[in-house]
Amino acid sequence: MQYFDVVLLYIFDRFKGERSLSAVYHLLTGKKSSQTIQDGKLFNIGQFFGVLKKLNRAKLEQHVSSLQEAGLIKPNQHEGYEITSSGREALTSFLASNPLPEYLAGWQYHKVSDLYWQRLSLFVQSLSYSIRGNMSFYPISKDETIQNWVKKHFPMTKEKRVTVAENLFQEMQTILNKLPDRDASMFVMRLSGIGRTGLTISQLADMQKISYEETSIRLQSVIHAILKWVQNHSGQSPILASMIEGEGEELPLTLSTKQTYKLLESGMTIEQIVHLRRLKRSTIEDHLVEIAINVPEFSIDAFVDPKAQADIRLASKEIKSQRLKLIKNYVKDQYTYFEIRLTLCKEGI
Amino acid sequence: MPLTDLLYKHFGYREFRFGQEQIISDVLNKRDVFAMLPTGAGKSLCYQLPFYAGVSPILIVSPLVSLMEDQVQQLKAQGEKRVIALNGFLEFEKRMDILKDLSYYSFIYVSPEILQNNFVYQALKKINIELMVVDEAHCISQWGHDFRTDYLKLGEIREAFGSPPILALTATATEDVRHDILRQLNMSNPAIHVHSVDRPNIAIKLEKHSSLEAKIQAVKEYALELKGPGIIYFSSRRWADKLAKALSDEGRECAAYHAGMEQEDRLLIQQQFLNDELSIICSTNAFGMGINKSNIRFVIHFHPPSTIESYLQEIGRAGRDQLSSIAIHLYTEEDEFLPLSFIDSELPKEQEVKEVLRDFSGRVGTTYSSFQLEREGNRFDFTETAWRYLLHQLEGLGIVQNKEIQTFEVESCLREILTATEQHRKAKLLKWFRFKSWLEEKQCRRKGLLERFGESNHQVNFCCDYCGLNLQRYKGSNTQLQPTAQHVVDWGVELKRLLTVSKEDHGEKSTG
């Protein structure tokens, strides 16, 4: 069984057959739709959000059909798949010897992790060359915003550069020491600097004799681990912390949702926003769900009566399901799909 | 200041190469200039130097984003800050900010597609462009090897920008393509500089094999024996991956490069290659444009390019340091079908055209942004090139005007588009047959190539397999095949090496 199959089994297990294959695909490729965001939260698999951005659909389907042939999953009536008992066994025994990366947190860091990695890797490369008095190299990132950021934060004198590099080495070593040796090693080999260009994901995978997907996921988990550590211990890693700067405050909302949020904050109702933005009501409702997931201080009481919220929560618990249709039946159609979705997301059952 | 002083001051060279000086003086005299220079001859210098002689701003139309970015990086490394590239990858808000301050910039790189954007167009119209450069100008011609429909609108755009002098640059253009370029850009009394496409330091070898297996065997042997660095061209990602794997297994430092890879990984491979950490790249034709590596010793074609111009451009990546290099073309009878299917994939099929016309006729009045229109082909599963082609036809027939769908008659438009497509297909086939006929000729390879560009033969010493070639000259040493010890190193040691200055670096004596 390949690593990617394990990831799929894990997701199918969590989805409990309640979501289609498209939902799996959107989760792994990080589609920023309210439904995907909601799925990640509801089924507690947000850590996989966007961890295989370049996955192609055909490859996914290929793996799914081989899992099915092996009897590890079976299709159900929701166009989804359920894990079988032998599938669960296979998953459990694999994870016992090779647990999923502890720090993987796709949803939490998807907005910042790419940017963070690019800043960090260009910063390391620039330091590595400059402390040896060599400033002519091809920058590892062509993105101008990244280059400008590094330029702006780069120490001015050679002495300072040597000190910053030394301190950055200490900071990175402290964190990497807490991670599996193999993950730390891949991370370091992906960095570029004097005397060596970083390795590609395929090259790292060959070197470690693991699959492309596993390599890609493990590398991301290291970045997530750094981000997590730095958020909690910024005093101990000031240089690494400085590279998040300017991105932390921003809410992880899609652009259109941000506009809706602004209008809500200015006191408009859903109907007014629908009218003003000339969007469908369902679209605005999707935005609200997204806001409910991402903005802790956002109260849904104005949209769902507190008593309704309590009924819905209870219903979900009673029937042990997050399927909107089942819950709606259980509460005898008293509440709309929108009210149920919003409640489930806010609570994050 | 004399031109040679400017050259030395800003570029560090003492002398001009390949007629650069004449081209630049014609540009400075505000003439329209057509210049054909062999690959690697320093085309960009022909418009960069005029800036230091006072010509500004300069608009450069360039077909490839990666090419554009490389040029921008290069100018910035030279200390030139007022450089900007406008392309579809720029975020909307950032683009608007730049457009507000467009007059700040001296070098403005644009893709032909972005010129169709109204905001960009209006902003460029307001500044007083002093020189318009059309890079890779062969893209303007249906006869060129990578025809781009948006290039056809450059003539009009030039007029709208106040008819600045134009500098059309290309590395490979046959006689008919040259005429096309002059006509399409409305160049008046142009100064024409055509330099030989010959690269005398590159030896040429054609090698026919009876089977695919034999060809695979041959490419492996060459890759293991020839002195690197080298590039091997394939027609597909799958083949590039497969051979890269096979060669690495044999101990040669080798990697694949193609558009299916992540952007970051592509950049890493490029840099490993540039830094001589990799000796061979197995690539699709995505690799090479804008790669400035001077010491490439061989280029092998495992699959044929579809035109003779692409062939010259690809082998031209070897030997830019003017040292002896070799180009080897491996082929079998079956290879003939590859370009044929490639040509088909680049053109819309009857059923597809029908589907689009029916769809559009049901949505008359729909308006698009240029961004949407460019991507509309995805809805019908078109390849990028095929969609660009069809879009051009739709605009030509007035079905799409100002990005709005007009009323039209489906049947007659369908016939017209199909006729035009068929003609285009035939033209492409002719180009392929021209290349193929070269493979089968019984004469000096160089002579055959040059004849196709209207040049007579240049006598060179190490010419081709027909004139006689000693392969030993291009082979590497036996040591190039040391299976590299596994890369796995202690990460702590490696991180320390990257970020700390060891005692030796301070000039102190090493203790161990």
- For testing the chain B interface, which of A200, A207, A217, A255 should be mutated: the one with the most B CBs within 10 Å? A200
Give the residue from chain A lying closest to B487, CA to CA.
Answer: A207
Q: How far apart are CA B490 and CA B250, in angstroms?
A: 25
Ranges of each domain in chain A? 3-97, 106-242, 255-347
CATH class of A255-347: mainly alpha
**Partner residue facing A198 (CB), from B268, B490, B495:** B268
CB-based contacts of B13-18 (< 8 A; 24+ apart in sequence): B17/B41, B17/B42, B18/B42, B18/B195
**Partner residue facing B491 (CB), from A185, A192, A206:** A185
- Each residue's pLDDT, cut to its tens digit, for chain B (512 residues) gives 788 999 998 888 888 887 899 999 999 999 999 999 877 667 889 999 999 999 999 999 988 776 787 788 788 877 788 999 987 667 777 888 888 889 999 999 998 888 888 889 999 999 999 999 999 888 887 665 556 777 778 888 999 999 999 999 988 788 888 888 898 888 889 999 988 888 899 999 999 999 999 999 999 999 999 998 999 999 888 999 999 999 988 888 899 998 788 888 988 999 999 888 999 999 987 776 657 788 999 999 999 998 888 898 899 899 988 899 999 999 998 887 877 888 888 889 999 999 999 999 988 888 887 777 877 888 888 877 788 889 888 988 889 888 889 999 999 999 999 998 998 888 888 888 889 999 999 999 999 999 988 888 778 889 999 999 999 999 987 666 554 544 567 999 999 999 998 755 554 433 33
The pLDDT assigned to B180 comes to: 87
At residue A213, φ and ψ (nearest 5 deg) are: -65, -40
* Sequence letter at residue B20: Q
Contact status of B488 with chain A (Cβ, < 8 Å): yes
Q: How far apart are CA B162 and CA B306, in angstroms?
A: 38
C-alpha dihedral, A329 to A334 to A336 to A339, nearest 10°: -110
The pLDDT assigned to B78 comes to: 76
In degrees, rounded to 5, the angle at the alpha carbon of residue B347 between the alpha carbons of residues B341 and B351 is 100
C-beta atoms of A188 and B269 within 8 A: no
Q: How far apart are CA A324 and CA B390, in angstroms?
A: 45
Contact status of B267 with chain A (Cβ, < 8 Å): yes
Coil, helix or strand at residue B75? helix
Domain A3-97 indexed as CATH 1.10.357.10: no
- A157 burial type by CB count under 10 A (0-12 exposed, 13-18 middle, 19+ buried): exposed
DSSP-derived pairing of the beta strands B325-331 and B298-301: parallel
Residue where the block lists tokens 């990697």: B255
The pLDDT assigned to B142 comes to: 64
* Chain A residues interacting with chain B (CB cutoff of 8 angstroms): 54, 124, 127-128, 131-132, 136, 138-140, 142, 162, 165-166, 168-169, 172-173, 176, 181, 184-185, 187-189, 191-203, 206-208
Q: How far apart are CA A141 and CA B267, in angstroms?
A: 8
Q: Is-same-fold flag (A3-97; A255-347)?
A: yes
The pLDDT assigned to B395 comes to: 84
C-beta atoms of B498 and A139 within 8 A: no
Contact status of B274 with chain A (Cβ, < 8 Å): yes
Q: Which residues pair with A75 in a beta bridge?
A: A81
State pLDDT tens for residues A57-104.
Answer: 889 999 999 999 999 999 987 778 999 999 999 999 999 988 889 899
Please name the residues in contact with B298: beta carbons below 8 A apart, sequence gap of 6 or more. Answer: B222, B226, B227, B228, B230, B231, B318, B325, B326, B327, B328, B474
Q: Which residue has the higher pLDDT, B167 or A41?
A: B167
What is the rounded radius of gyration, in angstroms, for the C-alpha atoms of chain B? 25
Helices first, then strands: H and E counts in chain A? 18, 2
Ranges of each domain in chain B? 3-194
Residues in chain B closer than 8 A to A198 (CB atoms) = 268
The pLDDT assigned to B509 comes to: 39
At residue B280, φ and ψ (nearest 5 deg) are: -130, 140
C-beta atoms of B486 and A184 within 8 A: no
The pLDDT assigned to B311 comes to: 92
Strand order through the sheet with B280-283 = B202-208, B325-331, B298-301, B230-233, B280-283, B254-257
The pLDDT assigned to B508 comes to: 40
CATH class of B3-194: alpha beta
Coil, helix or strand at residue B460? coil
The pLDDT assigned to A216 comes to: 94
| Both tokens assigned to B226 | 């020839």
Q: Which residue has the higher pLDDT, A22 or B143?
A: A22
